[in-house]
Amino acid sequence: MENFVAIDVETANSEPTSICAIGAVKVIDGCIVDRFYELVKPEPEYYFRHFTLNIHGIGRKDTENARVFSEVWRDVDRLIGKLPLVAHNKAFDERCIRAAHRAYGMDYPGYPFLCTYQTARRKFPKTLLSSYSLPYVCEFLGIPFNNHHDALADAEGCAKIAMTIL
């Protein structure tokens, strides 16, 4: 697969509509050509769970002056265009993106959505990997990766996995 947008979202809490960061990496002809990252103000005024704050480090003060999902998504949608989306564990990212579209009364365009997590599970036996999480798959494939749970770093790691195994 040579043309797609890898995407990752982080949430403020366990509510799928509480997106607080979006990262996206556009790949054309097998090369990364664009990157997008923005903090998002979760609405309604969602609380930030201590658990999620410890995972990604994003808190209320980081997002209080950020744009809301509907405004940020216009820019993300322009980046995506007609390309398919790819995520590592698309079940989470797609559920959050769909829920946020519903919460804001936005039509969900029905993006084709592929999953590097599921592909890695099918492609590599458990004897080769102790986990199929993003850092482990990147390490197994020799892809430099750090800053896990930073939406842009995760999107870029996913993009590089997708360029390798999809």
Q: Is the pLDDT reported for residue 153 higher than 90?
A: yes
Mean pLDDT confidence for 4-31: 97
What is the pairing mode between strands 19-28 and 4-11?
A: antiparallel
Quick one: how far is CA 82 from the chain centroid?
A: 18
pLDDT of residue 47: 77
CA pair distance 124, 128, nearest whole angstrom: 7
Q: Count how many domains the chain has.
A: 1
* Phi then psi dihedrals of residue 6, to 5 deg: -85, 135
- Binning pLDDT at 50, 70 and 90, where does residue 107 land? very high
Question: What CATH number is attached to the domain comprising 121?
Answer: 3.30.420.10
Indicate the average pLDDT of the chain. Answer: 95
CA pair distance 116, 42, nearest whole angstrom: 27
Q: Which of 10, 5, 3, 4 is nearest to 97 (CA)?
A: 10
Mean pLDDT confidence for 19-33: 98
Percent of the chain's residues with pLDDT above 90 = 89
Mean pLDDT confidence for 110-121: 97
Q: Is the pLDDT reported for residue 6 higher than 80?
A: yes
pLDDT of residue 149: 95
Q: What is the pLDDT of residues 67-106, one digit of tens each?
A: 999 999 999 999 999 999 999 999 999 999 999 999 999 9
pLDDT of residue 37: 98
Q: Is the pLDDT reported for residue 53 higher than 80?
A: no
Structural domain span for residue 130:
4-165
